[in-house]
A and B are shown apart, each in its own frame.
Chain A
Amino acid sequence: MRQEVSKSTFPLEARDISVVLGGVKVLEVPSLQVVPDEVLVVIGPNGSGKTTLLLTLAGLLRPASGTILYQGQAVNGKTEMLKLHRRLAVVFQEPLLLNSTVWDNVTLGLRLRGVNKEEIKTRANKWLERFGIASLAGRQAKTLSGGEAKRTSLARAFALQPDILFLDEAFNGLDSHSRQSMIEDFESVLRETRITTIMVTHDSNEALGLAHRVLVLMDGHIRQIGTREEVFSNPVDEQVAEFVGVENIIDGVVALNQGGIVTVQVGKDAVEAVSDYTHGEKVSLCIRPEEITLAGSRASSSARNSFAGAITRVVSFGALSRVEIDCGFPLVALITKRSAEEMNLDKGKPIYASFKATGVHVIKR
C-alpha cells in the first residue's frame, strides 16, 4: 500500500547537494523537489551527471554536502538510509541479477525487507505474470536472454511496491523490438500503479509519453526543469534546444484514422500524420523544427499540412536561424540563415508553415 503524503511534504527533496568524485565536483543541485505521483524524466548528454543525480537521490551515493529529504525528513544516519532504501526500487541499465533462479531474484528484495511468505508469493506471481515471464520462474538467471533478464529486474522492482521508482537508462542495450515492447509494458504498468518515478535517459524521445516533468542536466547543473511542453517548446538556451531536438510538441485528439493516416484536431486546426491511433485518443504530435518549411505564399506541394501564421521571433546562431511562428498553435522552424535573410523573415511577418504527414511523430498522452 502506498502511503498518503501530506500536501506540505514532497516524497523526495534535495537541498544544496554537491557531489565530488575523484576531487572533481560533478554535480551541483541547489534545490530539487519530486512531486507525488509524477514521472520525472532526467535527460542530458553523456557525462552530464544524470546517473550521479539518480544515485544521490536514491541514497546510494553520499553527497559531499547537502541534504536529501524523504517525505520531509532528512536522511542522515545508517538507520534512516536503510529505511529509505526499503521504500524505493532502482532499476539499472544492467539487469544485475544474482546467480540464482528468476524466482529467487524477483523475491529477493521482499525477503530482505521481511515481507511475509504469503505476500511474497502473491506479489512475485503477480509481477512475473504482468511482465510475461511467469514461465521462467524456475530458470537460472544466467541462462536468460537480455530482454528476459531486464523483465526480471523490472518485476523485482515493481514487486517491492516502492514509494519511489528509479530507472537508470533501464531500456538501453536491448534490440529495438524487445526494447519497444518492454517500454510499452512498462508504460502501461506505470499508468496503472502511478508510482512516483524518476528516470534517467540520454535518449530524449524515450518515455516522452510518460513524462510529467522533464529535467535537463548539463555539466552537473540543472539547466531546465518543467513540463514536457515547456522544455521541448521553450528550451532555455541553445544547448538545451540542440539536445532536445524536437521542439514542437502539440497536443491534440485523433478525429479520424483513414488507412493509417490520422487527422488530429489541434484547437481549430487539423494536422495529418501517419499513425495507428484511433478516433478519440489523446495524442501529442512531435515535429522536429528542421521538418518545417516556410513560404511567403500558400504553395502547392506534397506536404499534407500547411498553416498560415505570423512570425513571433527569429534567432540566428551559426549558419542556422530558428523561427518561431504562431499559427493558432506555436511552431518552431529551423532553416538556414541565408534562407531567412533572402525571405526577409522578421517578427510580425505573415508566413505559411508546411510539413509532411510523415514528418510528424505521434505519441500517446
Chain B
Amino acid sequence: MNLIIEGIVQAFWLLVHGDPTVLKVALLSILVSGSATILSLIVGVPLGVYLGLARFPGRRFLVSLVNTGMGSPPVVVGLIVTIFLWRAGPLGALHLLYTPSAMVIAQFVIALPVVAGFTMASVQQLDPKLRLQIISLGASQLQMVWLLLKESRLPLLAAIMAGFGSVISEVGASMMVGGNITGQTRVMTTAIVGEVSRGQFALAIALSILLMLLVYLVNLALTIIQQRSKPR
C-alpha cells in the first residue's frame, strides 16, 4: 500500500516540477503517434471511401483484410516491420530500425486499417440514394467524395479517435522497432514497461497519469467538435 501512495506522491512531484525525462518521453509519444495518425488518415480515409463506395472484383477480400487489420496485435505488426527494417532485410539499407521513424512506420501500419475501417463504415451508413442525389446535382467525382465525407463527419471523427487511441496506447511494436532507447526512442508506454520492470513505480505512475490525461484531452477535443456539429 505504501508503495502506491509513495509512487503517486512522487509522480505528482515529477509532474508539477516538469521533470525533463518525463516531458521528453511524453513529447516523443505525441510526436510519433501524432505523425502516425496523420499519415494513416492521409492514406486510410481515401482507402476507406474507395472500399465503401466502389464495386470491383476482390473488394470483399480487401474489406476482410481491413477488418482483420483493425484487430491485429501490435507485436505482430512490430515483428513484420522489424523484419523489413532489419539490416539484412528488404529495407535494411535505410537504417531505420531503432529510430523514431521506425516507430512511426509501425504505428502507421497499426492505425491504417482502423482509420480505413471506420471511414468505410461511416460512408456506408449514408443513404445510398444520397450519392445519386449529389451526382444529379452536378457533382464531379471529387466533389461527391468531399460532400459524402463532410456528411459523415461525425463518425469520421470516431475514426481519428480510434486511430490515435490504437497507437498512443500501443507498446509491443514500439518496443520492438524502437528498442526503448533512453533519450532516443523511449515513449510513454515503453517507458512505463521499462520502469516497472526495474521497480521504479513513481516514474511509471507519473507517465501513466500523463498518458491517461493525454488520451483524455485528445478525445475531449474531438468529442467537443463532434457534439457541436451534431444536429440539434
Does A112 lie within 8 Å of B136, measured CB to CB?
Answer: no
Does A113 lie within 8 Å of B138, measured CB to CB?
Answer: yes
Rounded to whole angstroms, the CA-CA distance of A114 and B127 in the bound complex is 26
Q: Which residues of A in the span 83-138 have a Cβ within 8 Å of any Cβ on B?
A: 85-86, 88-90, 92, 94, 96, 98-99, 108-109, 112-113
**What residues on B are CB-neighbors of A90 within 8 Å?**
132-133, 136
What is the number of residues of chain B that contact chain A, defined by CB distance less than 8 Å? 18
Does B129 lie within 8 Å of A85, measured CB to CB?
Answer: no
Find the residue from A78, A82, A89 having the highest chain B CB count within 10 A.
A82
Report the nearest A residue to B139, measured CB to CB: A112
CB of A58 closer than 8 Å to a CB of B: yes
Does B232 lie within 8 Å of A140, measured CB to CB?
Answer: yes
Q: Which residues of B in the span 211-232 have a Cβ within 8 Å of any Cβ on A?
A: 231-232
- Interface residue from B133, B139, B143, B151 paired with A99 (Cβ < 8 Å): B151
Main secondary structure on B side of the interface with A: helix
**What residues on A are CB-neighbors of B141 within 8 Å?**
78
Does B132 lie within 8 Å of A55, measured CB to CB?
Answer: yes
Does A60 lie within 8 Å of B135, measured CB to CB?
Answer: yes
Report the nearest B residue to A139, measured CB to CB: B232
- Interface residue from A60, A78, A99 paired with B132 (Cβ < 8 Å): A60
CB of B130 closer than 8 Å to a CB of A: yes
Does B129 lie within 8 Å of A92, measured CB to CB?
Answer: yes
In the complex, how many residue pairs between chain A and chain B have their CB atoms under 8 Å apart? Answer: 55
Q: Smallest CB–CB gap between A99 and chain B, Å?
A: 6
Rounded to whole angstroms, the CA-CA distance of A55 and B137 in the bound complex is 13
CB of A339 closer than 8 Å to a CB of B: no
**What residues on A are CB-neighbors of B147 within 8 Å?**
98
Does B138 lie within 8 Å of A96, measured CB to CB?
Answer: no
CB of B140 closer than 8 Å to a CB of A: yes
Does B133 lie within 8 Å of A92, measured CB to CB?
Answer: yes
Does B151 lie within 8 Å of A85, measured CB to CB?
Answer: no
CB of A25 closer than 8 Å to a CB of B: no
Does A109 lie within 8 Å of B138, measured CB to CB?
Answer: yes
Q: Which residues of A in the span 202-225 have a Cβ within 8 Å of any Cβ on B?
A: none
Q: Smallest CB–CB gap between B131 and chain A, Å?
A: 9
Q: Smallest CB–CB gap between B8 and chain A, Å?
A: 45
What is the number of residues of chain A that contact chain B, defined by CB distance less than 8 Å? 25
Q: Which residues of B in the span 129-167 have a Cβ within 8 Å of any Cβ on A?
A: 129-130, 132-133, 135-141, 143, 147, 150-151
Rounded to whole angstroms, the CA-CA distance of A156 and B134 in the bound complex is 12
Rounded to whole angstroms, the CA-CA distance of A108 and B130 in the bound complex is 13
**What residues on B are CB-neighbors of A86 within 8 Å?**
138
Does B137 lie within 8 Å of A108, measured CB to CB?
Answer: yes
Q: Which residues of A in the span 241-258 have a Cβ within 8 Å of any Cβ on B?
A: none
Q: Which residues of A in the span 126-165 have a Cβ within 8 Å of any Cβ on B?
A: 140, 142-143, 156, 160
* Interface 0/1 of B99-136, CB less than 8 Å to A: 00000000000000000000000000001011011011
- Interface residue from B127, B129, B136, B231 paired with A142 (Cβ < 8 Å): B231
**What residues on A are CB-neighbors of B151 within 8 Å?**
98-99
- Interface residue from A60, A78, A85, A94 paired with B138 (Cβ < 8 Å): A85
Q: Smallest CB–CB gap between B147 and chain A, Å?
A: 7
- Interface residue from B129, B143, B231 paired with A143 (Cβ < 8 Å): B231
Q: Smallest CB–CB gap between B30 and chain A, Å?
A: 32
Known: A142-B231, A143-B232. A112 touches B129 (CB 8 A): no
Q: Smallest CB–CB gap between A333 and chain B, Å?
A: 43
Does A82 lie within 8 Å of B136, measured CB to CB?
Answer: no
**What residues on A are CB-neighbors of B143 within 8 Å?**
112
**What residues on B are CB-neighbors of A92 within 8 Å?**
129, 132-133
Q: Smallest CB–CB gap between A348 and chain B, Å?
A: 55
**What residues on A are CB-neighbors of B140 within 8 Å?**
82, 112
Find the residue from A90, A143, A156 having the highest chain B CB count within 10 A.
A90
- Interface residue from A58, A78, A82, A96 paired with B127 (Cβ < 8 Å): A96
Does B136 lie within 8 Å of A88, measured CB to CB?
Answer: yes
Q: What are 12 of the A-B contact pairs (CB < 8 Å)? A: A60-B136, A82-B140, A85-B138, A88-B136, A90-B133, A94-B127, A98-B150, A98-B151, A99-B231, A108-B137, A112-B137, A113-B137
Known: A98-B151, A112-B137. 13 other contacts (CB 8 A): A58-B136, A82-B138, A82-B140, A85-B136, A85-B137, A90-B133, A92-B132, A109-B137, A113-B137, A113-B138, A143-B232, A160-B138, A166-B136
Would you list the 7 A-B pairs with minimal beta carbon distance, nearest first?
A142-B231, A109-B137, A90-B136, A86-B138, A96-B133, A113-B138, A112-B138
